[in-house]
Structure 1
């Protein structure tokens, strides 16, 4: 009976791993085989090393794919880089709570308010990046962009499909929310989105307007009442005050809209 050489067995194993779509494990196996200390480790140690490398590589690749799909306006925004100067009056306790990502699985919306340039978009992107690193999925829109996409989907008879996509994502970020008044059709679109995500997946809304002003921007009727109820009830609110961060000298981070 012919005995297969170790090198031949290694080659066959790595080929099988690649066929199983485990390329990192295949590369790691080859690297381990050349190490002098391999004989001193238990089979469980070796298996743990192989599996761990494959697991974390796949996890990081998934995070990178999700980050690309999120289409954030700032892919480097980080919660640790947010300026906490006294004039901004950022509620640190609320921000710390949001950093736990608990709002995601408790299905609570996040509302970020402040004048132009105060850092609303940066904060929303920082929260989104933080969630992406924890393997959640995110999609970022400016409100006009979202409404245009929904209008196009309706014209192409793909509204159901598009709404399903918007419902599936863990966090939906809507920036420049209600920057301008909305038409009846746009109010209908927003109602569809808010209703489908209500009590299942959170929204992050960035607005220059206070929530008290939203009702008028949404037409002031029954649809406005319904949207506000779904947006505001049990939501975390962060109000950013102070001057525009666009005038703050750069310190390696940009906390502006």
Structure 2
């Protein structure tokens, strides 16, 4: 048998003002913002009380979803804000079925890796960031690094030998993206950081790596022993996508699309 609701004392003042104060106490900011407009509408249209409660709770849920999305996006530390909204899938050399399969993000839920490699300007970083943004919108936690960021991480935590704890925090993310490998020789600290990250994430989290070099050539930019151990773990459960063609940036520059023309 259901317990009857407790009888509440009548309000001594403005019910709306008291309701707003209660939302502060209960930390319901999105309901608080909706109350002032919703209550007069509900009175005028004679809403069922259950509908009023439903709408208010829906406002709070939607507001929390937006706040969580913004928090995940901020924590990801994406460099430019590129998304699939400004990605032209028709000009990419990545096969359309491959693009669609990667965008579905099932490979992330399976804790598989992705290696996108090819010449500079062929959309590797853009596509990687767009995948990261899509993962954030799907409710996943994402972190973005360049390989030199990993070197800085190693140097910062070497002082107190806390690199293992730092990697534990990083590998709580569902997807970890490492961008722009292969443009320059990798510093010893960056090579160590990259290996440590790949090892920590192995079969636990998904890594997405973009590189000018195929992973089989990483021994050209980092010590061979470390490169071999890194690539062995990275490619074991990985999809390898090779981009081709001319640089999008160079093509836009030579056709005058890289700038706004002078009037």
Per the TM superposition, whether the score is higher than 0.5 is yes
Q: How many residue pairs get matched?
A: 247
Match of residue 6 from structure 2? none
Match of residue 56 from structure 1? 62
Is the Cα–Cα contact under 8 Å of residues 215 and 228 in structure 1 kept in the other structure?
no
Match of residue 237 from structure 1? 240
| SS of structure 1 residue aligned to 2:14 | helix
| SS of structure 1 residue aligned to 2:205 | coil
Counterpart Cα distance in 2 of 1:3 and 1:175: 61
In the superposition, the TM-score normalised over structure 1's length comes to 0.85
| SS of structure 2 residue aligned to 1:58 | helix
Counterpart Cα distance in 1 of 2:176 and 2:98: 19
Alpha-carbon distance, 1:132 to partner: 1.4
> Greater relative contact order (Cα 8 A, min sep 6): structure 1 or 2?
1
Alpha-carbon distance, 1:85 to partner: 4.6
Counterpart Cα distance in 2 of 1:176 and 1:16: 50
Q: Alpha-carbon deviations, 1:190-240, whole Å to 9, x = none?
A: 22211111111111101000122124434222x433211221122122222
Match of residue 107 from structure 2? 103
Aligned pairs for 1:213-252 within 5 A: 213-221=217-225, 223-249=226-252
In the superposition, the TM-score normalised over structure 2's length comes to 0.83
Is the Cα–Cα contact under 8 Å of residues 150 and 193 in structure 2 kept in the other structure?
no
Is the Cα–Cα contact under 8 Å of residues 171 and 201 in structure 1 kept in the other structure?
yes
Counterpart Cα distance in 2 of 1:160 and 1:15: 45
Cα distance change on mapping 1:36 and 1:67 into 2, 3 Å: closer
Match of residue 194 from structure 2? 190
Counterpart Cα distance in 1 of 2:11 and 2:145: 58
Alpha-carbon distance, 1:95 to partner: 1.3
Is the Cα–Cα contact under 8 Å of residues 153 and 193 in structure 2 kept in the other structure?
no
Gaps of 5+ in 1: none
Match of residue 205 from structure 1? 209
Gaps of 5+ in 2: 1-8, 259-263
| SS of structure 2 residue aligned to 1:168 | coil
Aligned pairs for 1:82-161 within 5 A: 82-85=87-90, 88-161=92-165
